[in-house]
Amino acid sequence: MTTIGQTPLLEARGLRKRFGDNEVLKGVDLAVPPGSVTCVVGKSGTGKSVFLKCLGGVLRPDAGEICFEGKPLRADDPGTRTAFRSRCSYLFQSNALLDSLTVLENVYLPLEQTTRLSRREFTRRAIAVLEQLELAEARDRYPSELSGGMQKRVALARALVTGPQLVLFDEPTAGLDPLRRNAVFAMIARYQRALGFTAVVVTHDLDEALVVADRVALLDGGRIRFQGTPAEFSACADESVRSFRDSVEDLRREIARVRQASNLSHPTTT
């Protein structure tokens, strides 16, 4: 569990990112406590994935600062950024598994590309992670031979094989039905607790995020409009939070009004 007052493991200060005339991030601030699951929620198209890519170094922000363990990750300090990348993993929305490689080969790929370990050692580490995620029997299969849920676990195994402190999840439940969404969130919570990494999860699945997260942040209009506990989010009266959080209730009320108006216009006769 996290403690109030802890130095954030990861912190964004005033991040800005523009694509042509479209300013997606307009000064984003976010603090991620160590050992937490922090879910960044928001409507589709609000820049959540862009923000995550900036945090992970996939995109470079136009302005602002990202700090890891209190130290700025500056472009003119490649050593600090390299050290950060070695302690951070990124789980892409599409899983990004290579169809031409087996499960085992997909999982040990980061070790093969970034370390000088022997093949025997990175194979041993990959097998250990597969066993932790209950995937050992699938080690010689190919991604196309796996279910969507198993592919997600393989992608997580690959993200964890380097022993990261921080794992960034980009819409991990995109395109999944409710049961599979629940299974993916349960998987994140289970292995985060078991292995102790810090997780940042970008998602638009609010109900599941409120169950899994220690911290919730709402990204809207290019800025973080709220960050706090799930209980604080549920009680927040801010209009940006309310309109996102209560959208289903708003829809229910609107449909009730439509049906009532329809009944008045077309009264039932007996």
Owning domain of residue 119: 99-163
Q: Are residues 148 and 53 in the same domain?
A: no
Q: Are residues 82 and 169 in the same domain?
A: yes
Give the total number of structural domains in the chain.
2
Q: Are residues 17 and 137 in the same domain?
A: no
- Whether 255 is covered by a domain: the verdict is no
Q: Are residues 82 and 176 in the same domain?
A: yes
Structure-block tokens of residue 118: 């022997």
Q: Are residues 82 and 175 in the same domain?
A: yes
Instruction: Quote the CA–CA distance of 177 and 248 in Å, as a whole number.
Output: 18
Q: Are residues 81 and 169 in the same domain?
A: yes
Task: List the chain pLDDT tens, one digit each, 270 residues.
Answer: 444 457 899 999 999 999 999 999 999 999 999 999 999 999 888 899 999 999 998 899 999 999 999 999 887 787 888 888 889 999 888 888 999 999 999 999 988 888 888 889 989 999 998 998 889 999 999 999 998 888 888 998 998 898 899 999 998 888 778 888 888 888 889 889 988 999 999 998 888 899 999 999 999 999 999 999 999 999 999 988 988 888 656 556 666 667 777 676 666 655
Q: Are residues 74 and 178 in the same domain?
A: yes
Q: Which of 163, 183, 201 is where one domain is finished?
A: 163
Residues 61 and 17 sit within 8 Å (Cβ to Cβ): yes
Q: Which of 110, 142, 163 is where one domain is finished?
A: 163
Picking from 58, 59, 55, 76, the residue whose alpha carbon sits closest to that of residue 8 is 55
What pLDDT, on the 0 to 100 scale, is given for residue 267? Answer: 65
Q: Are residues 73 and 183 in the same domain?
A: yes
Q: Are residues 71 and 39 in the same domain?
A: yes
Query: Cα–Cα distances in Å, from 179 out to 47, 81, 182, 184?
Result: 26, 38, 5, 9
Could you count the other beta carbons within 10 Å of the beta carbon of residue 179?
Answer: 8
- Whether 142 is covered by a domain: the verdict is yes
- Whether 253 is covered by a domain: the verdict is no
Q: With DSSP H G I counted as helix, E B as strand and the rest as coil, what are the percentages for the chain, rounded to 5? A: 45, 20, 35
What pLDDT, on the 0 to 100 scale, is given for residue 3? Answer: 46
Instruction: Quote the CA–CA distance of 177 and 43 in Å, as a whole number.
Output: 18
- Whether 248 is covered by a domain: the verdict is no
Instruction: Quote the CA–CA distance of 48 and 223 in Å, as a whole number.
Output: 10
Q: Are residues 50 and 171 in the same domain?
A: yes
Cα 203 to chain centroid distance, Å, stands at: 6
- Whether 257 is covered by a domain: the verdict is no
